[in-house]
Amino acid sequence: MNCRSQEFELTLELRLVEEAALAILHTVLLHRTTGRFSYQREGTYSVGAIGCCDVDCERLGSTYVRVASASLDRSLRSAVTAFTDALRACEASAGVGVGVCGTLSLEFYQRKRCRWPFPDECAPWEVWTLRVNLVTASSEHERLALCERAAEAVGERIVNVASVMGRHEFTPKMPIQGELRRVFDTEHGEAQPYRHRLSLAVTTTSSSSSGGSGGGHSAGGSGGGGAGAGGSGGGVGAGSVGGPQLAHCVSTTVRKLIKDTLAL
């Protein structure tokens, strides 16, 4: 299955990052969550209902809809908080004329069984990336203008998510009962999202070259743990948000190399 990628870019004040990220990523999860499956017999199942709730953004002044699951909200909020903290730490240590940007990625994946002696493969099939460029308002008037533009931009991104979800879906086929947990996360009560994990990265950019990066803080990656923001090994990884520890996953390239070696 090919992995589909979507990326959104926003220019925000630090105080708006949390609400903006939660609004966009909760919208994605809303479209990637089903009710709990109840199997009558192998291959036959019914899907339960899930609740939804409105969330008001106090700073952005807008509203979005999310799945009414406290545990799913906590897991996403934990990653967004780690992302915001990493941006704050990077901004505090950045020098004059140095910009701060970061990415927060929501990756949906499927655990595929591999032949012995190889562990399960974690095959991503969809990735949503939020790229944030930090700005600082120099006056109250500019602060209000930035907030208004941010609210409009977030609203547009939410509409874009719904538009993308309305197209042909590249989702894993519905699993049999014994394979359910390879496709879905069943740890959120009546809500059953597709398996997912979050990763983050934060860096600095030179004002003279918008694409250049230097120093800063980075975090995240599929094997990371915790929510540290001070080094390359920290971050929100596959084990800390969105599912069980997945550090044992072996990449397709490495697996092929091992198979070729054993065949000699």
Instruction: Check residue 59 and give its pLDDT.
Output: 95
Rounded CA-CA distance 58/259 in Å is 55
Give the count of beta carbons closer than 10 Å to the beta carbon of residue 152. Answer: 12
How many degrees, rounded to 5, is the angle at CA 204 between CA 199 and CA 207? 140
Average pLDDT, the chain: 81
Alpha-carbon torsion (27, 10, 15, 142), positive or negative: negative
Which of 4, 31, 11, 50 has the alpha carbon at shortest distance from 158? 31
What's phi and psi for 258, nearest 5 deg?
-65, -40
DSSP assignment letter at 139: S
Cβ-Cβ contacts under 8 Å for 173 (sequence gap 6 or more):
none
pTM of the model: 0.76
C-alpha 192/C-alpha 100 separation (Å) is 35
Q: What is the pLDDT of residues 104-161, one digit of tens each?
A: 999 999 988 777 777 777 889 999 999 999 999 999 999 999 999 999 999 999 999 9
DSSP-assigned letter for residue 230: S
- In whole angstroms, give the CA distance from residue 54 to residue 32: 17
Helix (H, G, I), strand (E, B) or coil at 226: coil
Q: What is the pLDDT along the chain (264 residues), one digit of tens a residue?
A: 688 999 999 999 999 999 999 999 999 999 999 999 888 876 688 889 999 999 999 999 999 999 999 999 999 999 999 999 999 999 999 877 789 999 999 999 998 877 777 777 788 999 999 999 999 999 999 999 999 999 999 999 999 999 998 876 788 888 888 888 999 999 998 999 999 999 999 999 875 444 444 454 445 543 333 333 333 333 333 334 444 333 333 344 434 444 454 444
Q: Provide the β-strand partners of residue 191.
A: 35, 188
Q: What's the one-letter identity of residue 222?
A: S
